[in-house]
């Protein structure tokens, strides 16, 4: 049964009675020791016994978090004073009997942003965009899987949630079933899948709206020091969202979408920042910096999360479509859900002119380099995906954003080349979404065959060899098809600044030498030491905002045999005082080895030019 909005409005006016729906109540005005109390009137029960569970894992996280760790004071009251037996089966599940006599279930929920004193929370801190944060009278960032459980076998019932709220608070969410009041709101989800797929951010609203075609997009921003505003984010994303709409054929597959941004004024417990995607929304936890410094980062991370409206919303396997929250099974196709999404996020920007080809290729080649240096390049991507929850394999997960994106690029270029420029991954994703869709899942083992039917035998062979198999990607062959020469190793003799690894000291506002163990011959002659802070290059002050221009001038004007001087500030052991020194050496070219270097082929063929033009949309 699907409850209507009229019935939803009536439920906000009358007391809750037991029926076939879940009726939850949360009072956001009562926070005790970073905990909220949740009360549930469960659906009517016919069975003698029921299991009530909190999820072990939710889609998009790719890690078992056991959200039941954050539940305490779990109590069950019986109708007419009936005695109820409650047995805790494991971290996430409670066995309750007699089920038919249950009146209410209540419990307390800890937030996850700053809790590390609970059992195992230090060892397994929840990535903040997948957790929840309770800040009394300020902000409630609610990933619903942290707060609400379900009864085994009754996951497809309506979830009706009543929130009592502080004055003026507004629930920003991608859910459509909302009845808003002055003191209370009622929010409806059609089943547990939709509920878990829909974070809610309660706060004094800073929101903006963007209209992209027929899609209404909400931008909600919580910035405690008001350093970022929803209007700034909306302005930053507007061009991008229109570009993504064009990339998807001019029409978005959703009518409503919500970007929920929480800006953190202090470092996160996990040490990370980022976002978690959902079908009709995405939730972001990012550092609260000056907004202009965040602009491109906002575009990149938002572009990725927004493109998840294609995968896995419209293209997904049975493991995702019928997700088991307590016994999760993984799909073999993370290259599709995360890799293709990451690729599209950057490709849409270069096709629309938001970034140029040099930025785009630099990003993609950096991803390729990272995939080789940080991950196992001979591990089958489908094997990694299927076994990603296993401890030894989980270390390879982040490669979905590196090699996964490069797989997407290779697939796109091959498709453009084979089709004479008329077909690429944009069209392929549209065809797959047409074959499957939000309510129809594919079988993992059928996907490569289905893609081959839409495309070419060579594409099926590519997927089986380089995605399903352990053969490293054929970068030289693929890039050659767009007139780019790929060199695994390129040795040149060039001027340098010594090749120190540099960091930035925000207190002194200077670059400093993080590592000096891989200096080239010129760097060894200069005698850099670890923690040296750079002051001047040939008498010109090294300012962080002008560093690119200064370095470019150095390389443009330096001649062999000239003296190079670098003024540095060398700290004492306690880093309380600095000694000013001048390092000097005679300029000379040193042997420089570049790995995985790309250059344009001067006399590219017409076929190469045509494929390149079709790929970039020029």
Q: For residues 296 and 232, state if they share a domain.
A: yes
Domain boundary among 178, 203, 228: 203
- Overall average pLDDT of the 244-264 stretch: 92
pTM metric for this prediction:
0.84
Q: For residues 299 and 357, state if they share a domain.
A: no
Q: Which DSSP string corresponds to 297-351?
A: HHHHHHHHHHGGGTTTTTS-BHHHHT--SSS----S-HIIIIIHHHHHHHHHHHH
Structure tokens at 165: 């709220």
Instruction: Write 30-33 long-range contacts (CB < 8 A, 24+).
Output: 31/134, 31/136, 32/108
**Sign of the torsion angle spanned by Cα atoms 506, 507, 512, 517:** negative
Cα distance between residue 106 and residue 125, in whole Å: 25
| In a domain? residue 596 | no
On the question of pLDDT at 2 being above 60, the answer is no
**Higher pLDDT, residue 542 or 506:** 542
| In a domain? residue 504 | yes
Q: For residues 250 and 216, state if they share a domain.
A: yes
Cα distance between residue 319 and residue 312, in whole Å: 11
Split into its structural domains, the chain has a count of 4
- Overall average pLDDT of the 187-201 stretch: 97
Q: For residues 521 and 613, state if they share a domain.
A: no
**Higher pLDDT, residue 116 or 482:** 482
Q: What is the pLDDT of residue 121?
A: 56
Cα distance between residue 545 and residue 299, in whole Å: 21
Q: What is the pLDDT of residue 403?
A: 98
CATH code: domain of residue 137: 2.60.40.3650
| In a domain? residue 465 | yes
Give the residue among 479, 384, 433 at the shortest CA–CA distance from 425. Answer: 433
Confidence of residue 108 (pLDDT cuts 50, 70, 90): very high
- Overall average pLDDT of the 328-336 stretch: 95
Domain boundary among 289, 309, 329: 309
Residue 37 structural domain:
5-203
On the question of pLDDT at 245 being above 70, the answer is yes
Average pLDDT score over the chain? 92
Confidence of residue 475 (pLDDT cuts 50, 70, 90): very high
Q: What is the pLDDT of residue 364?
A: 97
Q: For residues 296 and 332, state if they share a domain.
A: no
| pLDDT tens-digit readout, 225-236 | 999 999 999 999
Q: For residues 409 and 531, state if they share a domain.
A: no
Give the residue among 541, 540, 522 at the shortest CA–CA distance from 592. Answer: 522
Q: Is 242 helix (H, G, I), strand (E, B) or coil?
A: helix
Q: What is the pLDDT of residue 7?
A: 47
Q: For residues 230 and 317, state if they share a domain.
A: no
Q: For residues 134 and 248, state if they share a domain.
A: no
Q: For residues 333 and 473, state if they share a domain.
A: yes
| In a domain? residue 595 | no
Cα distance between residue 308 and residue 326, in whole Å: 23
Confidence of residue 420 (pLDDT cuts 50, 70, 90): very high
**Higher pLDDT, residue 7 or 84:** 84
Cα distance between residue 158 and residue 5, in whole Å: 12
Mean pLDDT is lowest, of 15-19, 28-32, 523-527, for 15-19
187 phi/psi in degrees, rounded to 5: -120, 135
| pLDDT tens-digit readout, 266-311 | 889 888 899 999 999 999 999 998 878 788 899 999 999 999 988 8
> Rounded to whole angstroms, what are the CA distances from 267 to 263, 264, 336?
10, 7, 32
Residue 111 near residue 32 (C-beta atoms within 8 A)? no
Confidence of residue 359 (pLDDT cuts 50, 70, 90): very high
Q: For residues 347 and 479, state if they share a domain.
A: yes
| In a domain? residue 598 | no
Give the residue among 202, 159, 173, 183 at the shortest CA–CA distance from 13. Answer: 183
Q: For residues 364 and 471, state if they share a domain.
A: yes
Give the residue among 195, 186, 200, 189 at the shortest CA–CA distance from 9. Answer: 186
**Higher pLDDT, residue 618 or 189:** 189
Confidence of residue 10 (pLDDT cuts 50, 70, 90): very low
Q: For residue 1, what are the contacts with CB-CB under 8 A and spacing of at least 6?
A: 20, 158
| In a domain? residue 536 | yes
Give the residue among 59, 61, 106 at the shortest CA–CA distance from 84. Answer: 106
**Higher pLDDT, residue 78 or 490:** 78
Of the chain, the percentage scoring pLDDT greater than 90 comes to: 82
Cα distance between residue 550 and residue 542, in whole Å: 7
Domain boundary among 284, 309, 334: 309
Q: Which H helix or E strand runs over 404?
A: helix 403-418
CATH code: domain of residue 611: 1.10.390.10
| In a domain? residue 331 | yes
Let me know if 595 is exposed, middle or buried by CB neighbors in 10 A (0-12, 13-18, 19+): exposed
On the question of pLDDT at 119 being above 60, the answer is no
> Rounded to whole angstroms, what are the CA distances from 79 to 18, 99, 584?
11, 11, 85
Confidence of residue 114 (pLDDT cuts 50, 70, 90): confident
Residue 93 near residue 52 (C-beta atoms within 8 A)? yes
Q: For residues 242 and 229, state if they share a domain.
A: yes
| In a domain? residue 490 | no
């Amino acid at each position: 049964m699907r409850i209507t909005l009229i019935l939803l409005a009536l439920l906000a006016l009358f007391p809750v009675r037991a029926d076939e729906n879940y009726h939850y109540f949360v009072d956001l005005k009562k926070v005790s020791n970073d905990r909220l109390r949740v009360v549930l009137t469960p659906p009517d029960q016919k069975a003698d016994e029921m299991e009530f569970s909190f999820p072990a894992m939710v889609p998009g996280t790719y890690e078992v978090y056991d959200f039941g760790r954050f539940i305490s004071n779990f109590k069950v009251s019986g109708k007419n004073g009936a005695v109820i037996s409650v047995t805790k089966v494991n971290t996430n599940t409670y066995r309750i009997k007699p089920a038919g006599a249950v009146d209410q279930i209540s419990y307390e929920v800890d937030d996850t942003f700053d809790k590390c004193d609970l059992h195992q929370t230090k060892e397994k801190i929840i990535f903040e965009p997948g957790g929840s944060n309770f800040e009394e009278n300020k902000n409630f960032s609610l990933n619903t899987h942290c707060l609400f459980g379900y009864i085994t076998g009754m996951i497809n019932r309506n979830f009706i949630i009543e929130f009592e709220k502080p004055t003026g608070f507004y629930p920003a969410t991608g859910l459509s079933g909302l009845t808003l009041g002055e003191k209370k709101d009622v929010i409806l989800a059609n089943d547990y899948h939709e509920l878990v797929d829909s974070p809610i951010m309660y706060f004094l609203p800073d929101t903006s709206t963007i209209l992209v075609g027929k899609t209404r997009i909400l931008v909600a921003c919580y910035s405690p020091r008001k350093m970022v505003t929803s209007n700034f984010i909306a302005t930053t994303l507007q061009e991008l969202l229109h570009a993504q709409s064009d990339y998807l054929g001019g029409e978005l597959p959703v009518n409503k979408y919500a970007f929920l941004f929480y800006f953190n004024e202090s470092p996160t417990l996990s040490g990370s920042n980022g976002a978690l995607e959902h079908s009709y929304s995405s939730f972001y936890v990012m550092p609260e910096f000056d907004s202009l410094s965040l602009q491109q980062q906002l575009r990149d991370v938002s572009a990725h999360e927004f493109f998840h409206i294609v995968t896995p919303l419209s293209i997904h396997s049975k493991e995702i479509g019928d997700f088991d929250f307590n016994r999760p099974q993984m799909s073999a196709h993370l290259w599709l859900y995360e890799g293709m999404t990451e690729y599209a996020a950057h490709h849409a920007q270069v096709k629309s002119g938001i970034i140029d080809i040099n930025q785009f290729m630099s990003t993609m080649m950096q991803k390729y380099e990272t995939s080789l240096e940080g991950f196992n390049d001979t591990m089958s991507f489908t094997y990694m995906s299927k076994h990603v929850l296993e401890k030894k394999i989980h270390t390879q997960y982040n490669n979905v954003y590196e090699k996964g994106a490069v797989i997407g690029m290779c697939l796109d270029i091959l498709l453009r080349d084979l089709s004479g420029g008329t077909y690429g991954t944009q069209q392929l994703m549209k065809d797959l979404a047409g074959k499957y869709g939000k309510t129809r899942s594919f079988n993992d083992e059928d996907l490569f065959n289905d893609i081959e039917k839409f495309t070419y035998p060579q594409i099926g062979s590519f997927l089986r060899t380089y995605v399903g198999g352990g053969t490293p990607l054929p970068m030289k062959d693929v890039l050659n098809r767009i007139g780019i020469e790929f060199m695994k190793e390129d040795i040149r003799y060039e001027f340098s600044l010594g090749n120190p690894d540099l960091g930035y000291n925000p207190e002194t506002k200077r670059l400093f030498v993080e590592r000096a163990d891989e200096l080239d011959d010129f760097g060894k002659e200069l005698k850099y030491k670890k923690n040296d802070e750079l002051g001047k290059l040939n008498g010109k002050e090294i300012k962080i905002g002008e560093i690119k221009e200064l370095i470019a001038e150095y390389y443009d004007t330096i001649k062999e045999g000239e003296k190079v001087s670098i003024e540095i500030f060398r700290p004492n052991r306690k880093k309380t005082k600095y000694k000013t020194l001048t390092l000097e050496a005679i300029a000379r070219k040193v042997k420089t080895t570049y790995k995985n270097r790309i250059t344009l082929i001067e006399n590219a063929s017409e076929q190469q030019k045509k494929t390149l033009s079709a790929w970039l949309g020029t």
